[in-house]
Amino acid sequence: MTQRPILIAPSILAADFARLGEDVAAVDEAGADWIHIDVMDGHFVPNISFGPQLVKAIRGFSDKVFDVHLMIAPADPYLQAFADAGADIITIHAEAGPHLDRSLQAIHALGKKAGVSINPATPESAIACVLDKVDLILLMTVNPGFGGQAFIPSVVEKIRRTREMIGDRPIHLEVDGGISAENASLVAAAGADVLVAGSSIFGGGETSTYAGRIAAIREGALSGLHKAA
Ligand code: DX5
Ligand code: ZN
């Protein structure tokens, strides 16, 4: 079995908003594969973060993939704005609207990669019918809305089942919420290949620690892959 590369995607929700551009450049330098951008509307999730103008403002600070996670309902009216702002991947929640298939098609029509996310309580069967329409599946490992929450261990079995459901399709399996160097091994062994991490990378607020923190999560994940092999 060929080993999937592990990608680390720091979530800028935990960065220092007063110097966000610099923090994005710093995690890029420190070895981030993607930049994970959490958009919250105070309606689909109980918190508000930022919108497309901010994505546009930080676009110049990194050439890495901008992985935009929309926790907003409805999402359709804003897809174009996020595409124009510089998103490379746009992920929407299956729970956020009645026409998931159409929304995913709309993202592709904008020339962007399309992702679908599900909350911890949503079974993977909710996305079984859109597997041919997605480039990425994002499994929430906390209830979305806030950084710094505890990882929900029951999602590990869902990661395993989702990886099986993906089969040979070229779909990334991303996990998001409470990911650390300690549990990276567990989620990678279950089949995740993209690990989002906010607090465990930006937590200390010290730019000089970012590279070590990213490397520790990556090493944890790779050790999990070896165990699983
Ligand atoms: C939660 C967000 C996550 C969050 C991760 O709603 O989607 O991306 O920022 O933060 P940590 O790693 O601190 O749980
Ligand atoms: Zn996220």
For residue 110, the domain's CATH number is: 3.20.20.70
**Residue with CA nearest ligand 1 atom 4:** 147
Q: Over 80: is that where the pLDDT of 3 sits?
A: no
Establish if 80 belongs to a structural domain.
yes
Residue 149 Cβ < 6 Å to ligand 1? yes
Residue 85 Cβ < 6 Å to ligand 1? no
Residues 32-44 pLDDT 10s: 999 999 999 999 9
The pLDDT, as a whole number, for residue 4 is 79
Instruction: State phi, psi for 81 to the nearest 5 degrees.
Output: -65, -40
Establish if 167 belongs to a structural domain.
yes
Establish if 92 belongs to a structural domain.
yes
Q: Which atom of ligand 1 is nearest to the CA of 200?
A: 12
- Catalytic residue status for 38: yes
Best residue for ligand 1 mutational test, from 8, 11, 141 (most atoms within 8 Å of Cβ):
11
- Of all ligands present, the nearest one to the C-alpha of 149 is 1
Establish if 26 belongs to a structural domain.
yes
Residues 195-215 pLDDT 10s: 999 999 999 889 999 999 999
The angle formed by the CA atoms of residues 181, 187 and 189, to the nearest 5 degrees, is 105
Q: Over 60: is that where the pLDDT of 1 sits?
A: no
Specify the pTM.
0.98
Establish if 2 belongs to a structural domain.
no
Establish if 157 belongs to a structural domain.
yes
As for how many domains the chain has, the answer is 1
Residue 220 Cβ < 6 Å to ligand 1? no
Candidates 96, 173, 159; CA nearest to 123 is 159
**Residue with CA nearest ligand 1 atom 9:** 147
The pLDDT, as a whole number, for residue 172 is 98
CA distance 229 to 220: 15
* Residue 177 belongs to domain spanning: 7-228
Establish if 55 belongs to a structural domain.
yes
Q: Over 90: is that where the pLDDT of 229 sits?
A: no
Amino acid at 15: A
CA distance 173 to 102: 21
- CA 153 to ligand 1 centroid distance, Å: 15
Mean pLDDT, residues 178-185: 98
Establish if 103 belongs to a structural domain.
yes
